[in-house]
Chain A
Amino acid sequence: MPAANDPRLLLLNDGDNVLVARTRIAEGEALRVDGTEIRLAAPLSIGHKIARRDIVPGEKILKYGAPIGSATASIPRGAHVHVHNVKSDYTPTHHLLDEQAAAGGKA
């Protein structure tokens, strides 16, 4: 039986609904996610997360077996889970990702 998840993805806790990229993964790559094959819609950087299964708005995002925030949108299995679809349950997240996109992706 093949492994449930691509070896480039890390499941930190059995209860988690996200997987972490162990390495940079290119857009369009086929990945096995929780037993289902998905195609990566956008490049995934090391340390970033994708949904292990479909997540509904308001659902807790679980990583390390602990809630790390709530979904603000529907997140299909295999989609990038980040500040565009997750919010903190404590204090808002400050980032410059929109500025970077406008500057051509330069960090």
Chain B
Amino acid sequence: MPIHEKSLIRPENLQVHEKLEVEGVDVSGHWSTFIESRVVTDYNEAMEDEIAALPGGEYIHRCWQCGSCTNSCTVHALNPDFNPRYWIYLIRMGMESELLRDKEIIWQCVSCNKCTYACPRDVVPEGVMKATSHWLELKGHTPKSHSMIFDEIFSEQVFKTGKIEDGRTVRRFFKRTGQALRQPWLEEMVKRLLRNLPIGMLTRMGMANFITPKTKGWSGARDAIEEYVAEQESHHRQALRLDDLVEAARKEL
């Protein structure tokens, strides 16, 4: 894989004077190009602790920046901006505004666990990616990603009945994300699936739409799980000071 060169000079930090004369010499245009100096002052010192308080982020402090995670990363190979090592660095430094530049792609981690396999410090970078995506959503920096919506639909069903039925999960996902089910590739897939299926199978599949698969006697487990999840959510709200955020926003309004 080629080494990814990243320009450290951003266009918005370049200054060019259309008309500039210095000691009688005209240095207009690109002769006067310089980079605006920047002193970082906007650290968010709480960011590492907040992300460490979310499931998966617990071991972020162990990172020593070797880069094995990024080097092994499936998504990095498709998009060089997807850089777990760099994000872990930013989080530990508290450089929130830099992290937010990549906020739209962090959720794309595919959980292949190549990073966790390669990491010599047991940071569990895959977990850190999940915790960071949750943090971005909880703090209101990004809307819920499609991945998060899928996880929620799936988990709701498991918590309620103990099992999932995949057709139903898919339909709910498309509905909740406002996507049409009639997409050419999906239709082609169904067409090919139906080609060899006997009638009996089709009836069985059709019935699954009406009869939800269930684990018997699940209500005890359901209540216990829901209680635990609510408890955890309240811990996370506290750790991320979300109520303070809401209060501050209310005052501003």
**A and B interact:** no
Binding site for B on A (CB under 8 A): none
Binding site for A on B (CB under 8 A): none
